[in-house]
Amino acid sequence: MNLTLKIWRQNGSSDKGRMVTYRVEDVSPDMSFLEMLDVLNERLILEGDDPVAFDHDCREGICGMCGMVINGVAHGEQKLTTTCQLHMRHFKDGDVITIEPWRAAAFPVVKDLVVDRSAFDRIIQAGGFISVPAGSAPEAHSVPVPKADADAAFDAATCIGCGACVAACPNGSASLFTAAKITHLSLLPQGQPERESRARAMVEQMDAEGFGGCTNTGECTAVCPKGIPFDTIAQMNADYLKAASK
Amino acid sequence: MAVTGAALVLFLIGHMLGNLKIFLGADSFNHYADWLRTVGSPALPNRTLLTITEIVLVVCVVLHMWAAVSLARRAAKARPVKYAAKRKSQANGYATHTMRYGGVIIVLFVIWHLLDMTFGTVNPKGGDATPYDRMIAGFQPDRWWVALFYLVAMAMVGLHLRHGLWSAFQSLGLTRRPRVRSTLQTTAVAVSAVLVLGFVSAPVCILIGVVK
């Protein structure tokens, strides 16, 4: 199939940036979205043009590197799918596809579709860890974890930190990411000693990075490729309120 | 947002129940309005309850609007470059999209409502008539547009509460488990629906002549 792509091109953080239109021909429905961009880039390189820069790594939907806003939806309209796992069979011949980077003040554009997500790393550094003595792995049964808690913690832990939640949020809030990280640790026994200081530190870092506030629109969880539940934001709010009231 | 909103919802429940007294006749309604002014008398001066309520409401409304404006300003700062493609909503929550303009409509309605029912400035009977007469006169068929405005505003209140109530539960961290979450979702829908039906019943019955 033949497609028209409108892609955001921006040569570095100081460039103003613009939408550029490209034609891509003979796209196979079996290609992934990134493979389709690879085809475009190979042609651009042969023609002596600058290829479109985009982040990617595993191309298996588990690393969290890829991500772009496709026709106004983070990672495209396919639910529970990263951009690398989105296949061209979901598009039709003749489609016009708009491709943009995540838009957030806290995610400055590095080049074209690549944004700097270090803000997420700093939120993790603020409290997304547990302090344990290093050494050999402890006996697995020494700290029992109720099944329901383990399941909920694992659900939250599947967050790959791609940033789609921020891109989709009308407020540009990073609440779902931060909440997933807080919930994952605060539901497990190992996370208890630092539970309140963690919630406070991570929420304060999130605000300091310039993300917007949460108004519970639910756009984040709807586009999340890992389906991080909205309940995690309630867990973050509960932990934060408890910490703030002391 | 959640705390001030909760206070406003509690007021709405009381206000709605008070309105329903219109169905018990003029004496019951006027007596209730009088009781609101003289409750606690003579131990407390007249209008004690009303004055406290008014102060709390004004503070809540101002803080609620301030919170909404700061959230909107933070959101604008958090995304300085807008998307070229129209951002397609993926979460199916119609009410969520009405919060900001719906809130403005509700404020305009409250101003009209105070001029109409409290001060009587725009009421055909004026401020000196009994509350029952003012209410009946306010919703007569020849003033159908007043009733229409009232119905539109109540629809906005319903949508505002549908998202707002649930959102308040979420902001206060009460919806941490799926079962609690679905119970509170249902509660939000039910409370919004009951409040809207309660508020709408009186003007509709006056408009069609059931209550005279």
Query: What CATH code is carried by the domain that includes residue A31?
Result: 3.10.20.30
Which residues span the domain enclosing A8?
Answer: 3-111
Same domain, A153 and A213: yes
Q: How far is A3 from A26, CA to CA, in rounded Å? A: 9
pLDDT value of position B166: 94
Q: How far is A67 from A59, CA to CA, in rounded Å? A: 11
What percent of chain A is modeled with pLDDT above 90? 95
Q: How far is A142 from A135, CA to CA, in rounded Å? A: 15
* Number of structural domains in chain A: 2
The per-residue pLDDT string of chain B (212 residues; one tens digit each, 9 = 90 and over) reads 999 999 999 999 999 999 999 999 999 999 999 999 999 888 889 999 999 999 999 999 999 999 999 999 999 999 999 999 988 899 988 999 999 999 999 999 999 999 999 888 899 998 889 999 999 999 999 999 999 999 999 999 999 999 999 999 999 999 998 899 999 999 999 999 999 999 999 999 999 999 88
What six digits make up the tokens of B130? 């009994």
Same domain, A197 and A225: yes
pLDDT value of position B55: 97
Mutation site, B174, B176, B179, interface A, largest A CB count within 10 A: B176
**Angle A231-A232-A236 from CA coordinates, rounded to 5°:** 120
Q: Is the dihedral of CA A197, A199, A204, A210 positive or negative?
A: positive
Q: How do the residues of chain A divide into helix, strand and coil, expressed in percent and rounded to 5? A: 40, 15, 50
Q: Which residues of B touch A212 (CB under 8 A)?
A: 71, 74-75, 77-79
Same domain, A158 and A107: no
Closest partner residue to A218 (CB to CB) among B87, B93, B171 is: B93
Same domain, A212 and A173: yes
112-151 of B, contacting A, C-beta below 8 A: none
Taking all residues of chain A, what is their mean pLDDT, rounded to a whole number? 96
Distance from CA of A47 to the nearest CA of B (A): 27
Nearest to A85 by CA among A15, A139, A26, A33: A33
Same domain, A229 and A124: yes
Nearest to A234 by CA among A124, A152, A127: A152
Q: Which residues of A touch B74 (CB under 8 A)?
A: 171, 212-213
C-alpha A29 chain-centroid distance: 25
Closest partner residue to A213 (CB to CB) among B71, B82, B96 is: B71
pLDDT value of position B137: 92
Cβ-defined contact of A98 to B85 (cutoff 8 Å) = yes
DSSP strand pairing (A3-9 vs A96-100): parallel
User: Tens of pLDDT along A8-30?
Assistant: 999 999 999 999 999 999 999 99
Asked if B85 is an interface residue toward chain A (Cβ–Cβ < 8 A), one would say yes
CA atoms lying within 13 Å on the CB side of residue A195: 18
User: Tens of pLDDT along A151-187?
Assistant: 999 999 999 999 999 999 999 999 999 999 999 999 9
Q: Which residues of B touch A106 (CB under 8 A)?
A: 78
Q: How far is B5 from B12, CA to CA, in rounded Å? A: 10
Same domain, A216 and A123: yes
pLDDT value of position A235: 97
Residue of A nearest to B70 (CA): A213
Q: How far is B123 from B143, CA to CA, in rounded Å? A: 10
Q: What is the CATH number of the domain that holds A220?
A: 1.10.1060.10
Cβ-defined contact of A216 to B75 (cutoff 8 Å) = no
pLDDT value of position B93: 83
What six digits make up the tokens of A89? 């069979």
Kindly provide the b/e burial profile for residues B161-187, where b requires at least 16 CB atoms within 10 angstroms of the residue's own CB. Answer: bbbbbbbbbbbebbbbeeeebeebbee
3-state secondary structure B136-196: HHHCCHHHHHHHHHHHHHHHHHHHHHHHHHHHHHHHCCCCCCHHHHHHHHHHHHHHHHHHH
Q: Three-class SS of residue A7?
A: strand
Same domain, A147 and A220: yes
Provide the residue ranges of all domains of chain B, joining segments of one domain with +: 2-75+96-207
User: Tens of pLDDT along A105-152?
Assistant: 999 999 999 999 999 999 999 999 999 888 888 888 889 999 999 999
Please indicate, yes or no, if residue A135 is contained in any of the structural domains.
Answer: no
DSSP A71: T
Residue of A nearest to B2 (CA): A215
What six digits make up the tokens of B78? 């958090």
Query: What is the mean pLDDT of the segment spanning A53-71?
Result: 97
Same domain, A86 and A125: no
Cβ-defined contact of B90 to A239 (cutoff 8 Å) = no
Nearest to A168 by CA among B83, B204, B179: B83
Distance from CA of A130 to the nearest CA of B (A): 22
Closest partner residue to A100 (CB to CB) among B71, B84, B169 is: B84
Residues 6+ apart with CB under 8 A from B53: B11
The residue whose two tokens read 């609620």 is: B64
Report helix angle B178-207 to B144-171, nearest 10. Answer: 170
Distance from CA of A44 to the nearest CA of B (A): 23
pLDDT value of position A55: 97
Q: Which residues of B touch A178 (CB under 8 A)?
A: none
Cβ-defined contact of A231 to B172 (cutoff 8 Å) = no
Same domain, A91 and A19: yes
Chain A positions touching chain B (beta carbons under 8 Å):
6, 8, 17, 19, 69, 71-73, 77, 98, 100, 103-106, 168, 170-173, 210-219, 221-223, 229-231, 233-241
pLDDT value of position A140: 83
pLDDT value of position A145: 94
pLDDT value of position A216: 95
Q: Three-class SS of residue A4?
A: strand
pLDDT band for position A219 (50/70/90)?
Answer: very high
Please indicate, yes or no, if residue A136 is contained in any of the structural domains.
Answer: no
pLDDT value of position B212: 84
3-state secondary structure B16-78: HHHHHHHHHCHHHHHHHHHHHHHCCCCCCCCCHHHHHHHHHHHHHHHHHHHHHHHHHHHHHHH
Cβ-defined contact of B96 to A229 (cutoff 8 Å) = no
Nearest to B35 by CA among B113, B107, B124, B131: B131
Distance from CA of B98 to the nearest CA of A (A): 11
User: Tens of pLDDT along B82-118?
Assistant: 999 988 899 988 999 999 999 999 999 999 999 999 8
Q: How far is A109 from A12, CA to CA, in rounded Å? A: 7
What six digits make up the tokens of A167? 């891109």
pLDDT value of position B135: 93
What percent of chain A is modeled with pLDDT above 70? 100
CB atoms within 10 A of CB A12: 10
